[in-house]
Chains A and B, each alone.
Chain A
């Protein structure tokens, strides 16, 4: 789960991590009063969307007066921001963070991530702040220091010192920074984060260290024990179909193509999208209905796929193991009748009771096309949409 920068900074502040003074604004007038209240020249006006790369895309601007902050807010609010991390259609800006301007001496990089392979928590720090960290890792890997922390042992002072030495901090900033590392680690663990990233972390000319930016991702699997965090999610940032799907416990991700597809199992669903593309068509979605698919899940799946007006054909790919093909076929027929199916559906089933399942589909009188195998299914659905 992602949250906004301003929310991440509120969490930071709660853990004692220094952040610039800032006010959230939902309207040009609020931006005006925010700038007035902050009383620095300039103030920074930052678009709040769930995507990085805002600076280069025009989502972060300086205002030298409250009036200018209001004008900037006027042009930014409601407009779409296209960054390298958004879809080409961009994301609509609904809120802004107005922050005090700071006298910046150096821009640094800091993050905490889990390392999948070693199961350690890794702290990354670099003097190359404000840049794409992947680019730094590729071109000058020696400029990134990685400190590995055993989650059973937790963070220790020498971990924090290593990060501080790597950043070549002046002595007055050293101690506050090591405390910050320890506080951020505590936040990472206590809130089950999957990413805490500050880019840039700034050293000011008066030798303070502050989080100028803040990005936090949370482990969805752990949200059950963090109701406060779950409450920070912003429905305006999500695709409405994805929100509806998750309410039905379906794993749905919208894509740009026109072949809707419904599959049991995430790996098979990804492979099904791939095979649709290989057959010369584009998948309209990822949809995993899970191992225990029944008539109800299939019905909800149909409804969500059909809400996407780009969909011209549907491919259902089910490997029936525990789930029997005849049960699934009955579910498909029932659901298709109920939702008033208006596009052709190619069904590929394999596994337990497959013959009986195919018979049910064939005798349904609906526009359900049996495919004999995966390749055949992809070919048939591709022919339909092209």
Chain B
């Protein structure tokens, strides 16, 4: 089992004729994902190495039965692309795009709240169920199929680092999700943790947080109240100065809120095994799980 994507997922790629979109659409297909369509307005009728391109998401869904969309559309047009996918009825939208205005995402999130769709991201590496479906830009080969660990993270390469250490420690993954580094995102820690908690094959969880906001604190409270499976946590940014945006738009300490120290304390208080040294995360998971 897994969460949100599996071998039956039919993926379409919005922005497939751009450099990034094309590269990653093909990489996803090579990994084994069923990539059924691409969408670029004005380029309908073309194909990308055999993947048919449509003018609209609605048409792509109608012709191919796609039920998930991977978005590579540039920031000024990304909010529109996400809403178009939602209107076309896909169940899952994964937005890779970095740099979408916060206000656009606030509107998108409020709009999607009334629809039966899940948004992952934006500004994220995507989601992968190892051996079944990769809907994202992560390197597939570092993952190990079959579980038992579910991974959820706000970061990209930091997630790869964590997954790589898990795989080298002999721990496979059910699903790995990057929820993105923006202040407003579609799916949050709690959504993923709740789903992992209900997934019988996921027997342990790793959550990777960073400075900014209160999502880690909220997740810790949720875990304490609901999750019996062991959880290992990590928070990046113990040395980050306040008031500075550390790469990710959402990674900023505002006043005294959003510090790594506060997140680590909340996680420890909730019974989460906090990894203090990133170099030892794999070893800690092996010990705890």
Pair B156/A265 contact, Cβ less than 8 Å: yes
Verify A274–B236 contact, CB threshold 8 A. yes
Contact B156 A291 (CB under 8 A): yes
- With a cutoff of 8 Å between Cβ atoms, the chain A residues found around residue B278 in the complex are 271, 274-275, 374
CB distance from B139 to the nearest CB of A (A): 3
Q: Are A267 and B157 in contact (CB under 8 A)?
A: yes
The verdict on A270 contacting B241 (CB below 8 Å), with A114-B184, A119-B109 known, is no
Shortest beta-carbon distance, A242 to chain B, in Å? Answer: 10
Q: Is the interface of A mostly helix, strand, loop or mixed?
A: mixed
A121→B255 contact, CB < 8 A:
no
Could you tell me if A274 and B155 are in contact, using CB atoms closer than 8 angstroms?
Answer: no
Task: State the CA gap A250–B184 with chains docked (Å).
Answer: 23
CA distance A152 to B27 in the complex (A): 37
Judge if A214 is at the interface, Cβ distance under 8 Å.
no
Asked if A265 meets B102 with Cβ closer than 8 Å, knowing A224-B75, A275-B277, A322-B139, the reply is: no
B103, A266: Cβ atoms closer than 8 Å = no
Does chain A have a CB within 8 A of B41? no
Q: How far in angstroms is the closest Cβ of chain B from A254?
A: 10
Determine if A116 and B139 form an interchain contact, defined as CB atoms under 8 angstroms apart.
Answer: no
CB of A48, distance to nearest CB on chain B (Å): 18
CB distance from A57 to the nearest CB of B (A): 16
Asked if A270 contacts B157 (CB within 8 A), the reply is no
Quick check: is A92 within 8 A (CB to CB) of the other chain?
A: no
**B33 CB within 8 Å of chain A:** no
Q: Are B157 and A319 in contact (CB under 8 A)?
A: yes
A277 near B246 (CB under 8 angstroms)? no
A268 to B246, CA, bound (A): 11
Binary CB contact string for chain B from 263 to 286 against chain A (1 if under 8 A, 0 otherwise): 000000000000011111000000
Please name the residue on chain B nearest to A350 by beta carbon.
B164
User: Per-residue CB proximity of B154-187 to A under 8 Å, as 1/0?
Assistant: 1111111100100000000000000001011000
Q: B251 contacts the other chain (Cβ, under 8 Å)?
A: yes
Chain B contacts for A152, CB-based, 8 A: 107, 110-111
**Chain B residues with Cβ under 8 A from A119's Cβ?**
105-106, 109-110, 184
B245 located at the interface, meaning its Cβ lies under 8 Å from any Cβ of chain A in the complex: yes
Nearest CB of B to A139, in Å:
13
* Nearest CB on B from A372, distance (A): 10
Q: Give CA–CA (A234, B144) in the complex, Å.
A: 49
Nearest CB on B from A303, distance (A)? 19
- The answer to whether residues A114 and B102 also contact, given A150-B110, A267-B236, A291-B156 and a CB cut-off of 8 A, is yes
Query: Which stretch in A18-26, A27-35, A215-223 binds the other chain?
Result: A215-223
CB of B215 within 8 Å of the partner chain = yes
**A interface footprint on B195-216 (CB within 8 Å = 1, 0 otherwise):** 0000000000000101101110
Chain B residues within an 8 Å CB radius of A288? 247
Least distance between A200 CB and chain B CB atoms (Å): 17
Let me know if B262 is at the binding interface, CB within 8 A.
Answer: no
Contact A222 B102 (CB under 8 A): yes
Q: A253-B244, A274-B237 are in contact. Are A266 and B181 (CB under 8 A)?
A: yes
Shortest Cβ distance from residue B286 to the other chain A in the assembled complex, whole angstroms = 15
**Quick check: is B76 within 8 A (CB to CB) of the other chain?**
yes
Whether A273 and B100, one on each chain, are in contact in the complex, defined by CB atoms closer than 8 angstroms, is no
Smallest CB separation, B113 vs chain A (Å): 8
A356 adjacent to chain B (CB < 8 Å): no
State whether the Cβ of A189 lies closer than 8 Å to any Cβ in chain B.
yes
Q: Report yes or no: B157 in contact with A268, Cβ–Cβ below 8 A.
A: yes
Please name all residues of chain A whose beta carbon is closer than 8 Å to the beta carbon of B105 when the two chains form the complex: 119
- What is the minimal beta-carbon distance from A154 to any residue of chain B, in angstroms? 10
Contact B164 A253 (CB under 8 A): no
Contact in complex: A192, B279 (CB < 8 Å): no
Residue from B102, B154, B241, B276 within 8 A of A267 (CB atoms): B154
B106 contacts A267, CB within 8 Å?
no
Query: Is the C-beta of B288 less than 8 angstroms from some C-beta in chain A?
Result: no
In the bound complex, how far is the Cα of B154 from the Cα of A266, in angstroms? 10
Given A221-B75, A221-B249, A222-B101: A319 and B110 within 8 A (CB)?
no
Using A266-B247, A270-B210 as known contacts, list a sample of 8 further A-B pairs with CB atoms less than 8 Å apart, ordered by residue number in A.
A114-B106, A265-B247, A267-B153, A267-B247, A270-B247, A274-B237, A351-B142, A352-B141
A-B pairs with lowest CB-CB distance, top 5: A266-B247, A267-B155, A265-B157, A321-B139, A375-B279
Using a CB–CB cutoff of 8 Å, the interface residues on chain B facing chain A are 27, 75-76, 99-107, 109-111, 137-139, 141-142, 153-161, 164, 181, 183-184, 188, 208, 210-211, 213-215, 218, 234, 236-241, 243-251, 255-257, 260, 276-280
Please report A residues at the B interface, Cβ cutoff 8 Å. Answer: 85, 114, 116-117, 119-121, 134, 150-152, 189, 192, 194, 219-222, 224-225, 251, 253, 255, 263-271, 273-278, 283, 286, 288, 291, 319-322, 350-352, 373-376, 378
A-B contact pairs, 30 of them (CB 8 A): A85-B243, A114-B103, A114-B184, A116-B213, A117-B213, A134-B257, A192-B103, A219-B249, A220-B249, A222-B101, A224-B75, A224-B76, A225-B101, A266-B181, A267-B159, A267-B236, A269-B246, A270-B236, A270-B246, A274-B260, A291-B156, A319-B160, A320-B139, A321-B139, A321-B142, A322-B27, A322-B139, A351-B164, A352-B139, A374-B161
